[in-house]
Amino acid sequence: MDAPLPKPEQIRLAVVGLGYVGLPLAVAFGRRLPTLGFDVNLARINELERHHDHTLEVPEAALREASQLRFSADAGRLHECNVYVVTVPTPIDAYKRPDLRPLEAASRTVGEALSRGDVVIYESTVYPGATEEVCVPILERESGLVFNRDFYVGYSPERINPGDQEHRLETITKVTSGSTEDAARFVDALYARIVSAGTHRASSIRVAEGAKVIENIQRDVNIALINELAQLFDRLGIDTQEVLAAAGTKWNFLPFQPGLVGGHCIGVDPYYLTHKAQQVGFHTDVILAGRRTNDGMGQHVARRVVRLIQKHDGHPANCRVLLLGLTFKENCPDLRNTRVTDIVDELAEYGIAVDVHDPWVDAAQAREAYGLALVETPEAARYDAVVLAVAHRQFVEMGTTGLRRFGKPGTPLFDVKGVLPGAEVDGRL
Ligand SMILES: NC(=O)c1ccc[n+]([C@@H]2O[C@H](COP(=O)([O-])OP(=O)(O)OC[C@H]3O[C@@H](n4cnc5c(N)ncnc54)[C@H](O)[C@@H]3O)[C@@H](O)[C@H]2O)c1
């Protein structure tokens, strides 16, 4: 007989992986039902036990309010649980292939703790099929249990946008799915307890997996189109922002902006789908073309800055440029897969010395991740060019006058993000 699913009052939930996705989820569940937050990183567990979240996603008060939430790095504690939500990273390797090792490791850990009737829900972004083809066999092997008879699986992709106070876990419609009709209903009801925006029950796990991955691919490809246009308009001597403002007056023109595409989602997820496509012998030309264009934007920005320096009678080899911002996006400390480093690398190719300043970033982390020594307080009147790479609010508040103070008299100011008045900068995407 098929094992019965846990009744609502029997649920003992575990969140496996307490990063940007896992912690807000553990806190939301921990307000309503017994929840164990598990992570292999002991330092992370220690800071959370002190009610501190270095990702700045969850304030201290919210951590304290989650009265039923406990933290542990001890996998043995997972045996107390019967519903597991897996939120571990799904990065790519040096060859841009999916690196499923964290997902496989987490599945092994959960598999060891699994009992009859338990439910494992994956939230990590993957390609269609990954949950059932990669994770389920591991769960079966480690537990000795039979899928869809002894235990069940769900997939509910995460859509949060770190640093965004408006679109939060509770206010974004949650896509849910399950490996059987009953499991799908169970997963849906579980999320309905914490998501006020409501849920969307997909017809299968693969549909839910596909939905998540294409959300980010759609953004990537659309940004790539605007990035390509920005490169073309630069050659044509037209300001892209002015073109976008004019085109944007049409009701159905989509408001995408040119820029660097970094982070662990938009620049990474497409490779999950293109990997799966390769497995079935399908060539994803458009998706990969978008990736190529977006990956070339750091180089494009650097070359435009060099041109500005040359126009200003500077020789790149004697120049020092101030790059403001290192994170992959504004107002958050997240350095993962930042493409600002492409600007640094390309400027260095021209012999330019680059100082990077970012008040949101932990200097030790920047050194460890990218070998960059951040400048804590950039000197005034020191630089031959100033590049606003990330629109952190501190930089935007300085305005063009404040930002120009870092430069020598007449130094060019380049606005990668298009947030400063066009007439007051020397170049922008
Ligand atoms: N951050 C986002 O904005 C976002 C949005 C939507 C989806 N996602 C997806 O969600 C997933 C998680 O992303 P994230 O940003 O939260 O990652 P993260 O790196 O912030 O956090 C992952 C956590 O998992 C822990 N971990 C790694 N391996 C583990 C294991 N075997 N067992 C237990 N814990 C383990 C790590 O120590 C870390 O604390 C990824 O698939 C990502 O693509 C992220």
Confirm or reject: Cβ of 88 under 6 Å from ligand 1.
yes
Distance CA 422, CA 429 (A): 10
- DSSP letter string over 364-428? HHHHHHH-----SSPPTT-BSEEEE-S--HHHHHHHHHHHHTTBPTT--EEESSS-S-GGGSSEE
- Is pLDDT of 117 > 80? yes
- Residues with catalytic annotation? 265
Which domains can be identified in the chain, with CATH numbers? 8-212 (3.40.50.720), 297-429 (3.40.50.720)
Ligand 1 centre and the CA of 64: distance in Å?
22
**38-84 pLDDT tens trace:** 999 999 999 999 999 998 899 999 999 999 999 999 999 999 999 99
- Is pLDDT of 356 > 80? yes
Confirm or reject: Cβ of 332 under 6 Å from ligand 1.
no
313 vs 304: which has the higher pLDDT: 304
**136-183 pLDDT tens trace:** 999 999 999 999 999 999 999 999 988 788 898 989 999 999 999 999
Ligand 1 centre and the CA of 327: distance in Å?
17
Residue 398 — very low, low, confident or very high, per pLDDT cuts 50/70/90?
very high
Task: Provide the percentage of residues in the chain whose pLDDT is more than 70.
Answer: 100
In the predicted model, what is the mean pLDDT of residues 222-234? 98
Nearest CA owner, ligand 1 atom 36: 17
Q: What is the mean pLDDT of the chain?
A: 96
Nearest CA owner, ligand 1 atom 20: 19
In the predicted model, what is the mean pLDDT of residues 269-283? 97
Give phi and psi for 222, each to the nearest 5: -65, -40
Ligand 1 centre and the CA of 219: distance in Å?
21
| Paired residues of 37 in beta bridges | 15, 71
Distance CA 288, CA 297 (A): 15
Residue 315 — very low, low, confident or very high, per pLDDT cuts 50/70/90?
confident
Strand ranges of the sheet holding 69-72, from the earlier edge strand across to the other edge? 69-72, 35-38, 13-16, 83-86, 119-122, 152-155
No. of H helices and E strands in the chain? Answer: 15, 13
Residue 162: per-residue pLDDT: 80
Confirm or reject: Cβ of 124 under 6 Å from ligand 1.
yes
Nearest CA owner, ligand 1 atom 31: 106
